[in-house]
Chain A
Amino acid sequence: MISDSPSIMRKALKDSLSLPAFILFFTMMGFGSFARSTGFDVEMAITASLFIWGLPGQLVMAELTATGQPVFAIIFACSLANARFLPMVVSFLPTISRPDAKLGQLVLDAQLLSINSWAMCLREFPGIAPEQRRRYFVIFASVILLAAVIGTAIGHSASVLLPQPLVLGLIFTSPLFFTLVLSAVPALSHRLALLSGCLIVPLANEWFPSIDLLLTGLTGGTIAFLIGKSRRKTR
């Protein structure tokens, strides 16, 4: 159990710089270049990465802008694509703050949260003293946010030519990272939630592509919760 501040800082820097910062840098480079091709300035692309800070929504925003959808429809679709932040924030904040913390602090922590820090923190927190978890999260999340913003700027400004197989390998690091991190989730109901999410998403995507993740989360999560609850009762 790590409990002193300097060690936490070192661990957060090491954990973020060893891989996630690199992954965010390359995926946001992809976003920067895509944003430019759809007409967004570099300042707009950077603002989006910095403050939307959720790639699925950013991609939807750029994609729908390119196809000339109405402004309201674009914003609404971006919001839906990032709706996962509600359950993510609710499940994450209690692990780093007391529920009676100031709303302002909770909102700032929520703004800094992304799927990378969410997954990584839930993986690493068992080895970190509770009073140090928020420090770990803030350092980790800030480092990868910085990498994401730099990646966005470079992707937008520089036309980097790389062999396609290499580009594909770099894009694929993101799902690989999440798959490995999530495979270590210990609780039965959470493992069931992961499994049912995988099983349901192809169907949800086929039938209701614009709200596929919301549907997947609600149905898969509810099934996993109910099974987990009945298992706890019988024990």
Chain B
Amino acid sequence: MNTQTLWIIVIGSILATFVWRFLGAVVVRKIPAQGDLFEWVTCVSYAMVAGLVFRMIILPQSDLATLSIGIRVSAVVIAFAAYFLFKRNLLAGVVAGGVSLSLMASSSVGIISF
């Protein structure tokens, strides 16, 4: 595709994402922050985000798909163990999970470029 078309795609994608943010800002002024509607929208956003994150773990679309689900789930378990061991420390949990995934993955060593 030529440069002009690519710019149209980028600008169009920016506006198409902005629409949701803008609608959100408009809606926020209309609904009471303690009511049922607000509580429902909050539940929807939690379910959506949980779905997104869970999908990254069990059905990854990146190179993570080259690893078995056992490796990915084990890394999450290790991350939780470290997180609670270090008094709910996020850094400890994420580093432990990431390092253990790297170690488990290194049985199939290769080089890829970013």
Chain A residues near B (Cβ < 8 Å): 18-19, 23, 29-30, 33, 39-41, 44, 47-48, 51-54, 56-59, 61, 65, 68, 71, 74-76, 78-79, 82-91, 93-94, 99-100, 103, 106-107, 109-111, 113, 115, 118-119, 155, 158-185, 189-190, 192-198, 200-202, 204-205, 212-214, 216-222, 224-225, 228-229
Contact = CB atoms under 8 A, between A and B. Distances in A.
A221 B20 CA distance: 18
B41 A118 contact: no
B17 A79 contact: yes
Contacts of B25: 89, 93, 103, 106-107, 109-110
Top 5 nearest A-B pairs by Cβ distance?
A: A89-B24, A221-B44, A217-B48, A197-B50, A220-B47
Contacts of A189: 39, 43
A110 B7 contact: no
A30 B53 contact: no
28 contacts: A58-B13, A71-B12, A82-B20, A86-B23, A87-B41, A93-B28, A99-B29, A107-B21, A109-B25, A110-B21, A162-B114, A164-B110, A164-B112, A165-B102, A165-B105, A169-B105, A176-B97, A178-B49, A179-B80, A197-B49, A201-B50, A201-B52, A201-B59, A202-B58, A217-B44, A220-B51, A221-B45, A221-B47
B75 A88 contact: no
A221 B79 CA distance: 27
Contact of A163 (B5, B41, B51, B109): B109
A44 B8 CA distance: 10
B33 A111 contact: no
Interface residues of B, number: 85
B27 A86 contact: yes
Nearest to B105: A165
Interface in B81-114: 83, 88, 90-91, 93-94, 97-99, 101-103, 105-106, 108-114
Contact of B59 (A61, A68, A202): A202
- The winner among A79, A158, A184, A229 for most chain B CB atoms within 10 A is A79
B50 A193 contact: yes
Contact of A59 (B11, B22, B26, B61): B61
A198 B51 contact: yes
Contacts of B9: 61, 65, 71, 74-75
Contacts, number: 335
A164 B8 CA distance: 34
Interface of B: 1, 3, 5-29, 31-33, 36, 38-59, 61-64, 66-67, 72, 75-76, 79-80, 83, 88, 90-91, 93-94, 97-99, 101-103, 105-106, 108-114
Contact of A164 (B43, B99, B111): B111
Contacts of A200: 47, 51
Nearest to B7: A44
